[in-house]
Amino acid sequence: MEQFNTIKVESSGQTAHIYLNRPDKRNAINGVMVKELLRALENAGNDDNIKTVVLSGNGKTFCAGADLEWIGQEIKGQKKHPELLSGLFDSVYRFPKPLIAIVHGKIMGGAIGLAAGADFVLAEEGSTFCFSELRLGLIPATISPYVIRRIGEFRARQLMTTAILFDASVAFSCGLVDKTGKKQELESYKDYLCKEISMNAPGATKSCKKLLLKVSGKPPGEEINRVTSALLKEISQGSEAAEGIRAFREKRKPVWTKK
């Protein structure tokens, strides 16, 4: 397995665990971490043995957002961090397999964007969140598309323009977090999700996420109907659909549940 400097990757069954691993820097995101996260996500996305990815952080906090020392640096006279960060958040959002983020401690700025693109966000009790950018003379630009998709425009306006600190219960109430609880409770729920996902056809799972990206925000009608019909036709003619239907008729589990 590939070795990294700012993250740690482990596999357990059909689940890949990606840990942010700069605990001395509160797992702040820098250029190296962005590139390593992108590589780890690409590896997991291409690995047919992996059905689910879990993203979490080592140390006292999930992530303190972007590393301000990195943000302040200039590379060849031009700051590259906006493009790197937006590419990372988009890769999380468009990841082709189910992705679970487990957050704890202080989740600040860009860390919220990192979690917001995940399919599930689980937050430990006692976690706190803050869109802290305005306090630093910055704006939450690259995370805004994914946060707004999760919690809506006006809730984002309230939390981003006040830069107030809010807890996991508030994050849950506005849809930023899907479940809160003690660490062990979240671990158990994560295991439950991974087990349920493992019973699904891997190709169909990828196609489902592709479908959701294409349909989201589009009004019903002839144009979107053509897209959905084409996707259904493509998947229904594949080997997974044939095996799934055959297994149902023969009252047995399909082959992808036996790994």
Whether residue 128 sits in one domain with residue 116? yes
Helix (H, G, I), strand (E, B) or coil at 184: helix
Band (pLDDT 50/70/90 cuts) for residue 2 is confident
Sheet containing 106-108: give its strands across.
106-108, 128-130, 166-167
- The pLDDT tens digits for 178-217 are 999 999 999 999 999 999 999 999 999 999 999 999 999 8
Whether residue 149 sits in one domain with residue 44? yes
- The pLDDT tens digits for 151-188 are 999 999 999 999 999 999 999 999 999 999 999 999 99
Question: 50 in a domain, yes or no?
Answer: yes
Question: 2 in a domain, yes or no?
Answer: no
Counting the structural domains of the chain, the total is 2
Above 90 in pLDDT, residue 19?
Answer: yes
Whether residue 218 sits in one domain with residue 192? no
Q: DSSP alpha helices (H): ranges in 73-141?
A: 81-93, 110-116
**CATH number for the domain harbouring residue 250:** 1.10.12
What percentage of the chain exceeds 90 in pLDDT? 89
Whether residue 165 sits in one domain with residue 248? no
Above 80 in pLDDT, residue 1?
Answer: no
Whether residue 204 sits in one domain with residue 176? no
Whether residue 204 sits in one domain with residue 191? no
Length of the chain: 259
Final residue before a domain boundary, out of 148, 180, 197 = 197
Mean pLDDT of 74-102: 86
**CATH number for the domain harbouring residue 111:** 3.90.226.10
pLDDT at 74: 53
pLDDT at 146: 97
What percentage of the chain exceeds 70 in pLDDT? 97
Above 60 in pLDDT, residue 226?
Answer: yes
Mean pLDDT of 245-249: 94
Whether residue 81 sits in one domain with residue 24? yes
Final residue before a domain boundary, out of 152, 175, 197 = 197
Whether residue 149 sits in one domain with residue 63? yes
Band (pLDDT 50/70/90 cuts) for residue 69 is confident
Above 60 in pLDDT, residue 75?
Answer: no
Whether residue 224 sits in one domain with residue 193? no
Above 70 in pLDDT, residue 259?
Answer: no
Whether residue 121 sits in one domain with residue 238? no
Residue numbers of the domain that contains 124? 7-197
Buried b (16+ CB within 10 A) or exposed e, 63-77: bbbbbeebbeeeeee
Whether residue 240 sits in one domain with residue 117? no
Final residue before a domain boundary, out of 197, 223, 245 = 197
Above 60 in pLDDT, residue 76?
Answer: no
Question: 1 in a domain, yes or no?
Answer: no
